[in-house]
Structure formats: structure tokens, C-alpha cells
Amino acid sequence: MGWESHITAASADIDLIDILWRQDIDLGAGREVFDYSHRQKEQDVEKELRDGGEQDTWAGEGAEALARNLLVDGETGESFPAQFPADISSITEAVPSESEPPALQNNLLSPLLTGTESPFDLEQQWQDLMSIMEMQAMEVNTSASEILYNAPPGDPLSTNYSLAPNTPINQNVSLHQASLGGCSQDFLLFSPEVESLPVASSSTLLPLAPSNSTSLNSTFGSTNLTGLFFPPQLNGTANDTAGPELPDPLGGLLDEAMLDEISLMDLAIEEGFNPVQASQLEEEFDSDSGLSLDSSHSPSSLSSSEGSSSSSSSSSSSSSSASSSASSSFSEEGAVGYSSDSETLDLEEAEGAVGYQPEYSKFCRMSYQDPAQLSCLPYLEHVGHNHTYNMAPSALDSADLPPPSSLKKGSKEKQADFLDKQMSRDEHRARAMKIPFTNDKIINLPVEEFNELLSKYQLSEAQLSLIRDIRRRGKNKMAAQNCRKRKLDTILNLERDVEDLQRDKARLLREKVEFLRSLRQMKQKVQSLYQEVFGRLRDENGRPYSPSQYALQYAGDGSVLLIPRTMADQQARRQERKPKDRRK
């Protein structure tokens, strides 16, 4: 809808006119300033920020509550459930020695020792139960984990399976030495060659091939014996002797409730962000860089509005007949670098000031305009679009002025006063100095054309000086407007980026929870399998092996060895030293 049509409509409704005038974008400020959607977006952003703050508060509370169960990763700064490591500690307490190093992972077959860092190539490992156990061997240092990740007292899993650090069982009690001989050769068993050794050749080792499980059962008796010698806790219930030895490796893992809690929190954080507003923001800001501006939506069009204002002013001022050459040349230069393209100008000009009514009054301050007055002077429409530096209509060619016949003499004076008020200081100066061309030309003409224009007139030094000042100030004015809009856009874009990052963080946190949950499930499976296998093992007398004295070790060839814990501990220490030496 054109501006004239607005005025026409305005004549029928003074209030509407007032609104329209308030919407007039022909101020120094860019149209973006008045852009309702833009301001709406701003408000949305602010609102969301406030909401975000509330969310943050809420999240903070949640985080605070969570902090009891979360530990902060010193390296990444990420917090993670403390229960998880606590579980690990309980696991390590029960199975290997307290100093069980991660390096043991490949050699010790203690599924209960699964560490948080265990690899996720579980598919392969699940192909072979023992392979899974190998993964479990990646246990964390027990003592450290005990200190750092003490499971909450109320944790059922850890309570059931955790072993007191000083439990004699953990004191390297090596019954195997009495029955299985010295340890000197045991070290050899842990060497890579061990795997190639005939299992049967070592009396200390009981080869346990997966395929032999059935034979084992047949050899060592029924599962009933398991109940006799195997601590019930190995099967899920506590036992005074063996209980601590086979703690639930998963006891420290996030329990379901906690995981769900985290998920819900994350979800709330993420979804607390109003999707509508989010999408709105996304639509509003499609500029990729913080500084880039969407000429059609973003405030960047300030310059365009500026340009539109100037062009519209010139065109409207010359609307009567001669579409001034000035307007054409001005539109060429249009707005200053910040944005402004002719299309935008045209578009905005065509849109008039209507599009963003509600908010325009807020941001469109027509310092020198009296809407009431203007509403009475529809032919002065160009005033509304007149750029601050545009020459006042009185200074324009008579052809640019509306027919005098349409004016009353009484109103003429008012109009003159009003127009005087509409003019900027430079316009007043220009008129006082009788500058023969408009400020629009002075400001917006390219240098060459500008100089050419000056050369056409005989101008005094004072006039030339004023013209240069007008040009400088005019350009700087637009530059300042662009600069301010750019700054505003930058802020808005940064706000959007913050929101995006918050969403990403929530998503990643949710994924992390999912991974931890699946890991816990896998550990539970491994634990049950380990217990099942270990519980079925029987010595020569048909008695079950004590978990505190023996452990299953997975060999690379797929076989499983039953080894004394002391061996495992020693091997663990040796492998623990290796990485340290390498670092040195």
C-alpha cells in the first residue's frame, strides 16, 4: 500500500492517520528500528532470556541438587554422576586389588571391574562372554575411586556389593600359593606368551574355555554346589565373606531414577525454550554472521530505510512531475554501506510505514512532526518521508510543490512554521546560505557528481564550507545509524547464538545420559555372566573358588584362565608402571 493511500485513508480516520504518521519511517533511524517483527523479536528474545534466566535458575537448582551426585571433570568442566564412579570403586574393591590399574584391563577378566572408559566395541565383546570380561578389566584405580567417588550410603547396589577397603579379602590373600605354587612363574603367565601356553601345563591355572562350560558343570557338579560355596551376593544377594569380593560393578552407575531425572532436567532446559519463539528467531535471523544483516528483516535495513527515506523523500517531493534526477542518483548511492539495496528501498517504500504499526510509535520518534498537523495536510506527505537533510519543500523547485490552490492562506503560515521545524539545522543553514541544491544531493551524490555539481555554481567559500560540512555530517549521521543498528544486530545474534548453544548443550547432555544408561545395562549383563561362570567353577574337591582369591582372566586366544588374585594384582602393578615409564 502506498503512502498516499495511507493518507487518503487517514483523512477518514484521524486516529489512523496518527498511527500511520507514527509509523512513518522517514526519520534518521532505519526502518528496522520500527520493524515490528524486529522489535517483537527483540522482545521475544528478551522474554526468552528472562525465561532462560528462570530456566537457568531452575537448572541451577537442579544442578545444585545434582551436584550431590555429580562430579566435575577438571579437564572438560563437565559434571558427571558421582554414583557412577562410586560404582566403579565398589567394583574394583570387590574384584581386583585396590591398586588395580586400568592397564590390567586386557589381562584381568573381572567383569565387575568395568570402568567408565571401557570401549564401546561391545558388539564384538558380546560375541564372547570372556571378551566382555576383558572390557571389564578396564577398571579404574580402586583406591582413587574410593576416595573420589564414594557411593552414596543409600545406594542399594553399592551397599550390596561394595567391599570395605580394609577387608582382609582385599589384602592379597593368596590361597593359590599354598596349592598352586610360587608366583615366580605366575608372572610369566601374564606375559603375552601366556596366552600361547598350554593351559593344562600350568597347575595354577584352570583353563576355562567357553566351550567347556558344560563339561565343567559335569565335572564339578551341579549348580547346587554353587549355592554352597558361592556367596549368595554373587547371585545378587549379600554375603558376609564373599559379598564384598564381588560388588556390583554397576552399583555406582546412575540409577534409573537419576538418569531419568537428568533427562527430564535437560529436556526441561531445552524445551523450556519456547519452540515458537525459537523458530521465530530462526526465521528472523538467517544471517550467518553476527554482523551480517538481513536486509529485509533485520535492522540492518536501517540504512535501507535511510535510503528509502531519502529516496522516498526525493521521489515524493518530486512526485508531482519531474521524478527528480536527484532521486535517481540518490537511490543509486542509496544507503551507506551497512545494507541498503534498491530492492529493499523499493519494497520498504511500497510497504510504506504500515507494516509495523504497533511498535512504531515506540521507536519512531518524529522530533519535528506533529501528526495532528500533518494529518490536516495530506499533501505534505513528503514531509513524513523527508530525510532530515532533505531540502525542505519550500526550497525545492516549485514543480515539486503541490498546487497552491489546495491551500488556505491561514494554513500556509502554519505549514511554513511546521516545515521550518521539520528542517534540520543544516537545512536551515543551507537555506540561509542560499545553497542552490538540496541537502540530499549534497549528502548522497557520489564524489564525482558532487564535485561536478559544485562546479556548476559560483559558490562562496562560506557556502562551500557549509556544503562540505553538510555532506560530512550527513554521511556521518547515516553511518552512525548503521553503526547502531549493526551493534543491535550483533547483540541479537549473540543472544541467538547463546540460545543455540544452550540447546546443543542440553541435547549432548541427554545423549550422554543415554550412553551411560546403555553402559550400565551392559555392565549388568556382564556382571551376571561373570558371576554365573565363576560360580560354576569347582576345584578338585568340588568346591567353588573364592572370588577374593581367584579371578577369571581372558586370554587373547579366546580362552579363559582362572588365576590367583595376587598374580592379577602383580600384573596390574607392572602394567601400571609401564605407562608411567613411557611418559618419562
Exactly one of 7, 19, 20, 33 binds DNA (CB under 7 A); that residue is 33
Nearest to 132 by CA among 157, 146, 117, 114: 114
Regarding 447 and contact with DNA (CB under 7 A), the answer is yes
Rounded Cα distance between 37 and 298, Å, is: 9
Closer to DNA at the Cβ: 106 or 373?
373
What does the radius of gyration of the chain's CA atoms come to, in whole angstroms?
Answer: 41
Please give the Cα distance from 242 to 246 (Å, whole number): 7
Distance (Å, rounded) from C-alpha 417 to C-alpha 421?
Answer: 6
DSSP class of 254: P
Query: Is residue 364 close enough to count as binding DNA by CB under 7 A?
Result: yes
What grid cell was written down for 176?
593359590
In the complex with DNA, which residue's Cβ is closer, 128 or 370? 370
List the one residue from 281, 336, 380, 533 that touches DNA (CB under 7 A).
336
- Based on the shown chain and the rule CB under 7 A, indicate whether residue 426 belongs to the binding site for DNA: yes
Nearer to DNA among residue 195 and residue 489 (C-beta): 489
In the bound state with DNA, the residue whose beta carbon lies nearer, of 109 and 488, is: 488
Compute the least distance from the CB of residue 114 to DNA, in Å. 54
Regarding 469 and contact with DNA (CB under 7 A), the answer is yes
Q: How far apart are CA 77 and CA 70, in angstroms?
A: 11
Binding span for DNA by CB under 7 A among 70-78, 253-261, 365-373, 542-550: 365-373
* Least CB distance to DNA at residue 374 (A): 14
**What is the per-residue binding string for DNA in 472-491, x denoting contact by CB under 7 A?**
xxxxxx-xxxxxx-xx----
Work out whether 450 is an interface residue with DNA (CB under 7 A).
Answer: yes
Closest CB to DNA among residues 124, 451? 451
Residues 233, 235: Cα–Cα separation, whole Å: 5
Binding positions for DNA, 115-134, rule CB under 7 A: none
**Any alpha helices (H) in 446-544, and if so which ranges?**
447-456, 461-536
Q: Which of 408, 309, 428 is nearest to 366 (CA)?
A: 309
Q: Which one of residues 99, 263, 365, 401 is an interface residue with DNA (CB under 7 A)?
A: 365
Return d(Cα 90, Cα 523) in angstroms, integer: 13
Residues binding DNA: what is the number (CB under 7 A)? 36
Instruction: Give the contacts of 4 (CB within 8 A, at least 6 positions apart).
Output: 381
Q: Rounded distance, CA 360 to CA 131, Å?
A: 70
- Cβ proximity to DNA: between 90 and 444 the closer is 444
d(CA 330, CA 307): 8
**Binding segment (CB under 7 A) for DNA, from list 11-19, 83-91, 396-404, 470-478:** 470-478
| 446 sits near DNA (criterion: CB under 7 A) | yes
The residue with cell 513524513 is 384
Of 36 and 368, nearer to DNA (C-beta) is: 368
Residues in touch with DNA (CB under 7 A): 27-29, 33, 336-338, 363-365, 367-368, 388, 424-426, 446-447, 450-451, 469, 471-477, 479-484, 486-487
